[in-house]
Amino acid sequence: MSIWSRISAALAALASGQPLSEVFDRLRTPPERSVAFAIAVIALGAKLAKADGAVTRDEVRAFREVFVIPEAEEDNAARVFNLARQDIAGYDAYARRIAALFEGGHEVLRDLLEGLFHIATADGDYHEAEDAMLVQVAEIFGLTEREFRSLRARCVPDAHPDPYEVLGVTPDMPLARIRRAWKEAVRDSHPDVMIARGVPQEAIRMAEQRLIALNRAWDEISAAGSADGESQG
């Protein structure tokens, strides 16, 4: 049974009137936690799509920013979106339940928020209403302001993202400490590590995008640091 069939079955249970708490309680342990992660992205992504006042016509395309959807599974994926649209629960109810589901899983909640950022920016625009919603979701998930700024810096299209924001560091930190932060972030982004904490295999493309941003930020900071060292010498 594919992950899309399992997601569809879980969302059908929600659509039939089963409480969100009951459905999520069945998804607490691996491998079903990966289904919970995907449902969270779908449900919150559907709310996010409406945050700027317009629902994208091609939600599956936006969702591809996070998930690999095989051609054979496109019907199941479309069914998932249709079920998600029927749910009238507010995004804060989902966010709080998801935070409880992944209690103690700060990293996977951060992964989930990153997925929402990719959906928010899939149309090439990042609306202030979307930002306001993601700020609230981040607060519910327990992310710090610095963690939120770091996600936004590496996910939101910008002419020149601040490399320090991307790594979640500050310019006054010693270069060695910034390097440690970069290496920790890279290690934390390894696909095996992400899968172990509940991110579906189908969503590991997030790791590729994240690593590109992290490495680019470190390259820029380290190059500047080397130049400064040479000029001081």
Ordered alpha helix ranges (H), 121-204:
128-141, 145-155, 163-167, 175-188, 191-196
Kindly report, residue by residue over 146-203, the tens digit of the pLDDT.
999 999 998 887 767 899 999 999 999 999 999 999 999 999 999 889 888 888 887 8
> What size, in residues, is the chain?
233
Task: Indicate the number of domains in the chain.
Answer: 1
Highest mean pLDDT out of 38-42, 50-54, 66-70, 171-175:
171-175
Confidence category of residue 232, pLDDT binned at 50, 70, 90: very low
Between 48-57, 111-120, 127-136, 177-186, the lowest mean confidence (pLDDT) is in: 48-57
The answer to whether residues 92 and 136 touch, using CB atoms and an 8 Å cutoff, is yes
Tally the C-alpha atoms within 13 A of residue 129's C-alpha that lie toward its C-beta.
8
The model's pTM is 0.79
